[in-house]
Structure 1
Amino acid sequence: MTVSDCEICGQTAHGNHFGVLSCRACAAFFRRATLNPKKKLNLNCIHGQNLEIHRNGFFSCKKCRMKKCLERGMDASKFQLDRDMISSAMVPVNTPLMIPQTLATFLGRPNFLIYCNAQDPSSPGPAKNVVDCNHLLDRATEILKNGSWKPFSPQLNSLEQMSAAFENMKISKSSELQLITHMNKDHTLLIWEQEMLNTAEWLTNFSEFNSLPITVQMEVVKSIWQTYGRFEKLAKTAEFRRKKLFKSDNLFVVGDEACLDSENTVVDVSWFTNYSYEQVSYFMDCFHNKAFRQIAKEFETLNPTTTELNFMLLQVCLQEAGKKLQGDVTKMTDYLQDLISNQLHDYYLNVRNMPNYSARLTKMMKVCNLMRNDLRRQAEKSKLAMTFDVFNITFSHPEIMGNCG
Structure 2
Amino acid sequence: MKRESQEPPSDPGSPIDIDKQMSIRQMKDVTYEVQTDEKGEPIVKLDITGLLNNITSVLDDFIPAEDIKHLNTLRRMNHALIEYRQIHHSNVIKFVQSISMREILMTGNDQIKSITKFLMHSIPFRSLKNEDQMQMLKSIWVQWKRLERYASTAQIFGKRMYEDQIVTLVPGLAAYLNKIHVDCASFIYKKAEGMKFFMENFNTRMMEEVGKPLVELELTSTETAFMLAQLSWQVAGKELQGDVLKASESEQETLANELHFYYIEDLRLPNYASRLIKIMNIINAAQKIHFERQNFMDIVRIFDYFRVHVSDPEMYKSYF
If the length of structure 1 is used for normalisation, what is the TM-score? 0.66
Matching residue within 107, 110, 129 for 1:194 = 110
> Partners in 2 of 1:169 and 1:250 — Cα distance?
25
Q: 2:283: which partner in 1? A: 368
Amino acid at match of 1:170: R
Q: Does 1:234 align with 2:150?
A: yes
Which secondary structure state, in structure 1, belongs to the residue aligned with residue 29 of structure 2? Answer: coil
Q: 2:267: which partner in 1? A: 352
Report how many residues are paired: 294
Matching residue within 163, 168, 171 for 2:83 = 168
Q: Does 1:111 align with 2:36?
A: no
> Partners in 1 of 2:56 and 2:141 — Cα distance?
13
Closer/same/farther in 2, CA of residues 291 and 189 from structure 1, 3 Å limit: closer
Q: Give the superposition deviation at 1:381.
A: 0.9
> Partners in 1 of 2:36 and 2:241 — Cα distance?
32
Q: Give the superposition deviation at 1:247.
A: 8.9
Unaligned runs of 5+ in 1: 1-100, 104-108, 121-125
- RMSD over aligned CA atoms reads 2.6
> Partners in 2 of 1:226 and 1:235 — Cα distance?
14
Which secondary structure state, in structure 2, belongs to the residue aligned with residue 171 of structure 1? Answer: helix
Describe how 1:263-342 pairs up with structure 2 within 5 A.
263-275=178-190, 278-282=193-197, 284-285=199-200, 288-342=203-257
Which secondary structure state, in structure 1, belongs to the residue aligned with residue 95 of structure 2? Answer: strand
Amino acid at match of 2:141: W
Checking the alignment, whether the CA contact within 8 Å between 1:113 and 1:189 is kept in structure 2 is no
Matching residue within 278, 295, 298 for 1:383 = 298
Q: Does 1:216 align with 2:132?
A: yes
Unaligned runs of 5+ in 2: 1-12, 16-25
If the length of structure 2 is used for normalisation, what is the TM-score? 0.82
> Partners in 2 of 1:331 and 1:402 — Cα distance?
25
Higher Cα radius of gyration: 1
Checking the alignment, whether the CA contact within 8 Å between 1:158 and 1:206 is kept in structure 2 is yes
Amino acid at match of 2:34: N
Closer/same/farther in 2, CA of residues 178 and 287 from structure 1, 3 Å limit: farther
Checking the alignment, whether the CA contact within 8 Å between 1:226 and 1:403 is kept in structure 2 is yes
Amino acid at match of 1:397: D
Deviations 1:67-108 (A, max 9, x none): xxxxxxxxxxxxxxxxxxxxxxxxxxxxxxxxxx856xxxxx
Amino acid at match of 1:364: I
Amino acid at match of 2:247: M
Deviations 1:158-184 (A, max 9, x none): 110110221133233332223333211
Q: Give the superposition deviation at 1:263.
A: 3.3
% identity of equivalent residues = 26
Flag as ranges the 4+ runs of structure 1 deviating above 6 A: none
Closer/same/farther in 2, CA of residues 286 and 233 from structure 1, 3 Å limit: farther
> Partners in 2 of 1:312 and 1:333 — Cα distance?
14
> Partners in 2 of 1:151 and 1:276 — Cα distance?
54
> Partners in 1 of 2:150 and 2:110 — Cα distance?
15
Q: 2:141: which partner in 1? A: 225
Closer/same/farther in 2, CA of residues 180 and 149 from structure 1, 3 Å limit: farther
Which secondary structure state, in structure 2, belongs to the residue aligned with residue 310 of structure 1? Answer: helix
Amino acid at match of 2:123: S
Deviations 1:46-72 (A, max 9, x none): xxxxxxxxxxxxxxxxxxxxxxxxxxx
Q: 1:139: which partner in 2? A: 54
Q: 1:180: which partner in 2? A: 96
Q: 1:398: which partner in 2? A: 313
Q: Which has the higher helix share?
A: 2
- Which protein has greater RCO, CA pairs closer than 8 Å, 6+ apart? 2
Which secondary structure state, in structure 2, belongs to the residue aligned with residue 152 of structure 1? Answer: helix
Which secondary structure state, in structure 2, belongs to the residue aligned with residue 403 of structure 1? Answer: coil
Closer/same/farther in 2, CA of residues 264 and 289 from structure 1, 3 Å limit: closer
Q: Give the superposition deviation at 1:136.
A: 1.0
Q: Give the superposition deviation at 1:110.
A: 3.8
Amino acid at match of 1:367: I
Q: Give the superposition deviation at 1:392.
A: 1.4
Which secondary structure state, in structure 2, belongs to the residue aligned with residue 117 of structure 1? Answer: strand
Closer/same/farther in 2, CA of residues 327 and 271 from structure 1, 3 Å limit: same
Which secondary structure state, in structure 2, belongs to the residue aligned with residue 312 of structure 1? Answer: helix
Deviations 1:157-214 (A, max 9, x none): 0110110221133233332223333211331221321331221121122223212222
